Structure 1
Amino acid sequence: MDIRILAFLGVIFFACKPLSVDTKSKEELVFNTKNKMIDVYCTSKDDNKRLTLVGSHGFTDAEQPLESEISVFVNPQKQFQTFLGIGGAITDASAEVFSKLPEKKQKELLDAYYGAQGINYTLMRTTIHSSDFSSESYTYIEEGDKELNSFSIEHDQTYRLPMIKRALSQADSAIKVYASPWSPPAFMKGRKDMLRGGKLQPEYYQSWASYYAKFIKTYEAEGIPVWGLTVQNEPMAVQTWESCIYTAEEERDFIKNYLGPTLQAEGLQSKKLIVWDHNRDLISHRANTILGDPEAAKYVWGVGFHWYETWAGGDPLWDNLRNVKESFPDKQLLFTEGCNEKFDANEYQRWSNAERYGKSMINDFNCGTVGWTDWNILLDQNGGPNHVGNFCFAPIHGDTNTGELIYTPAYYYIGHFSKFIRPGAHRVSTTTSFSDIISTSFLNIDGKMVTVVMNESEKEMDYKLIIEGVHAKLTIAPHSIQTLVY
């Protein structure tokens, strides 16, 4: 055959051959069930079980599951994203409440969140100057100081820095700290007000980009390593508190032309830059616009998101997360904020608050999310302090009148993930045969599998955990969550 014909056929073959997309950016972790027992930890509404070890179960040979049975199917041969961590935010409000607690309770709180006997957080968010969860609005410069000559974090020295430093020093595991701004200083915005939206004016783009770099370097000079930052908290929400609006194109161009190059010029290119930092509803549009531009995308580590899209009356939009991960597999998804709003001191033990956490975490992880960050780790008996009256729940509240800590069910639900799933774990294929229960699994680097199962219904359910040709017969109580470690 003429060599030219062979060459032509080769072109046709390769042009028609489906592209092999290598999605394995990591070596798979090894798992087997041989000689393994399942330790079951439970938190349930109708008894006093709170992250309680309730028993151990062995595996037996599996049989064909029936359509009438509830099953959880785990396939360790299919592994996905690498787990980054779980944590919460130390805001001005958290730190101010913390300072008013007795020393013994301060230690208890830090142990509860960051200790091996607690829920072992490994992520921490904080704010770049004030947010709504501050007792006042403030910045790190004098008003009008475009050159940032007056830059100082003296304000944070009173409450926030001492608490962060104690948390880092007392933590059982390494903590990744990242920061988010709520608004530029008033003079940098068209409406000359940090509150109620407004936009960063083009003549201050460079000043604001330099502000981030100064924040990182100043915090790190205090001994607080900054792992990353988000570009803007909730860039599509005109809030009564500190807020700033960016269209997708404005955020893209700010990153591409100012923030990305500034971080690089300041030697901060290793810091993880996170875009969007808002709800799941518009996340695809923001990702398409920014990550679709190679000159902007090269500076971006991932896309952050919140859970408040249900304010409009709809359901959580988890499919949008899956769309972003499928569209941009080399970028990461990070849950950056969620809390239960409309604080009511009579509702500390409201179980649906905890179930909101469990449902979100399972679905977010199953859609490719690598890490999950709660909002305030501590608030007072009024759901604050908050300088605009936006009072909310936290997993733990500190009563500054009595000095007592109040643990809510949400704390334990978060712990069912953070205590057992450790950084470096790989998410593992997990599905259920009935919609009454939901589940996710991660394989830790030590070879232990962690499967979380949640039952939001009113009825107790028997189910089978089926994995690698074996199964275990288990029962989950109504309104409960289990962590299976095996």
Structure 2
Amino acid sequence: MSISASQLFDVASSSFLSKRAQPSVSIVVDTNIKYQELDGFGCSQAFQRAEDIFGKYGLDAENTQYVLDLLFDVNIGAGLSILRNGIGSSNSSVSNFMNSIEPFSPGSPNGRPNYTWNHYDSGQFPLAQQAQARGLSTLYGDAWSAPGYMKTNDDENNGGYLCGVTNEPCASGDWKQAYANYLVQWARFYEESGVKVTNIGFLNEPQFAATYAGMLSNGTQAADFIRVLAKTIQASGLNLKINCCDGIGWDDQEAMMPGLLAGPDPAINYLSVVTGHGYDSPPNYTLTTNGVKTWLSEWGDLTGDYHPYTFYEDGGPAEGMTWAKNIQVALVDANVSGFLYWIGAENSTSSSSLINLINNSIVTTKRFWTFAQFSKFARPGAYRVKATSSDSLITVSSFLNTGGGVATQVINSGSTAYTVELKVSGFGGNSWVQPYLTDNANNLTALAKVGGSQDGTFTTEIPAWSLVSFVLS
């Protein structure tokens, strides 16, 4: 079959027009304009999920080490830097209950507590050891509830309030100080056993009377306890930062802020981090914290659907693209310093974790690789810096790391590839940028390095429906 000259011209012309038609975007990063400091990215293994990693459902020792490396080792895996351990409130370990260090009431708030410590803590203590050995910088101990005997409903489950906070008296007395002692003792057990707890919290989703461990509170009631906890920590000699209050949604946490900001001795003055979740409402604006850092301390896809290999199909809640956008909006619009997915790894076929463990098999999901695009390159201590895009389909965030390197995350929400002209202040013609790509076909794939022009512009490309991290060091 022969092709005429006119047909050859048409083919060449079509190819040329196609290349010319590819849109371009200008991305400018100004490292001189800084915003929030980054504490990092993380997850939890609460409610006995830590035991999944240690072989409860058949994961062998070699794969246990690999999962730990994937989650917490910055060279091998995502390098997650925050672990949220649950401070247990149960006197039983049936189902997925978390054991209490004081499983039975001392009889009264002033009674002598009978603390117990097994160096296991529902699998969370050895997990914390392994994570810190791999570089974990922040261990957040968070109680979903006080033990039931300290609460108005005498139950760790089904809501109830801490006895003694505003408008919640109990016949048994005021348990605020006993609960503060309890939390500090949990952190002391960890520290005496060689694991440093950095942050402590005492509530989880206090707007929701869950059938599992939980405790209700408004902002004023939380403030009542924060003042007691702060004095108890100071007297203990431990170096612990206080977090509050893990509201079930961003709006729910904002609704608690007036109570934390009010009074002649505002509780906000004792907090190091204000924490909120993304379930009822997403983190898309800055909380009113008077300058105190914020974390998105829990969020995940709880629909039950299993979509481990999809970066983008239709914008579903399990997709990697969805979580790339969630993370970037939280960083840029809500100025969060930390972002934690609900579970790191669990034995399930759902999307509530970053890694699915199926007996002795490991499935690294697109959500995991999406997190790694941020957590591996934007490290604790980095500052978010100003980054702009000339096209609304191309969104961007950027971080200046402590060593001077810059990690810029670019999301293409469009159906076509873009030519990218990236300009980063302080990096000129002798610099190189290393792109890493995650999309439907790639998992944190290192692409060819790109050299800068004399004016410091790096010209490269971003595929359709993708996330690329551009790393300069």
TM-score (norm 1): 0.76
Q: Name the structure 2 match of 1:98.
A: 53
| 1:271 and 2:240 are equivalent in the alignment | yes
* Aligned pairs for 1:65-464 within 5 A: 69-100=24-55, 101-115=59-73, 116-129=75-88, 135-136=96-97, 138-145=99-106, 146=108, 147=111, 149-154=113-118, 156-157=120-121, 159-169=123-133, 171=134, 173-202=135-164, 203-256=174-227, 258-268=228-238, 270-278=239-247, 279-293=249-263, 294-310=265-281, 316-319=282-285, 321=286, 323-324=287-288, 328-329=290-291, 331-345=292-306, 347-351=307-311, 352=316, 353=318, 354-366=320-332, 367-383=334-350, 393-400=352-359, 403-464=360-421
Q: Name the structure 2 match of 1:54.
A: none
Q: Name the structure 2 match of 1:481.
A: 467
Residue by residue over 1:276-299, the C-alpha shift from the partner in whole angstroms, topping out at 9 and shown as x without a partner, is: 212211333322321344442231
Instruction: Quote the offset at 1:117 in angstroms.
Output: 2.1
Q: Name the structure 2 match of 1:6.
A: none
C-alpha separation in 2, matches of 1:222 and 1:485 = 38
Residue by residue over 1:110-151, the C-alpha shift from the partner in whole angstroms, topping out at 9 and shown as x without a partner, is: 111222221112211101015999623542223322435221
Residue by residue over 1:333-361, the C-alpha shift from the partner in whole angstroms, topping out at 9 and shown as x without a partner, is: 1221111112234x222434222321122
Q: 1:297 to 1:303 in 2, by over 3 A?
A: same
Q: 1:133 to 1:228 in 2, by over 3 A?
A: farther
C-alpha separation in 1, matches of 2:62 and 2:368 = 19
Task: Read off the aligned partner of 1:370 and give its amino acid letter.
Answer: S
3-state SS of paired residue (1:429): strand
TM-score (norm 2): 0.78
Tell me which of the two structures has the higher relative contact order, counting C-alpha pairs closer than 8 angstroms and 6 or more residues apart. Answer: 1
Instruction: Quote the offset at 1:484 in angstroms.
Output: 0.2
C-alpha separation in 1, matches of 2:417 and 2:24 = 13
Greater helix share, 1 or 2? 1
3-state SS of paired residue (1:445): coil
C-alpha separation in 2, matches of 1:138 and 1:211 = 13
Superposition RMSD in Å: 2.3
Q: Mark the runs of 5 or more structure 1 residues left unpaired by the alignment.
A: 1-67, 311-315, 384-391
Q: What percentage of residue pairs aligned between the two structures are identical?
A: 23
C-alpha separation in 2, matches of 1:317 and 1:368 = 9
Contact 1:308–1:338 (8 Å) recurs in 2: yes
Residue by residue over 1:207-250, the C-alpha shift from the partner in whole angstroms, topping out at 9 and shown as x without a partner, is: 11111111111111121100011231111112221111111110
3-state SS of paired residue (1:76): strand
Task: Read off the aligned partner of 2:48 and give its amino acid letter.
Answer: A
Contact 2:43–2:342 (8 Å) recurs in 1: yes
Contact 1:425–1:442 (8 Å) recurs in 2: yes
- Range that drifts further, 457-466 or 274-283: 457-466
3-state SS of paired residue (2:175): helix
Q: Mark the runs of 5 or more structure 2 residues left unpaired by the alignment.
A: 1-22, 165-173, 426-454
Instruction: Quote the offset at 1:175 in angstroms.
Output: 2.4
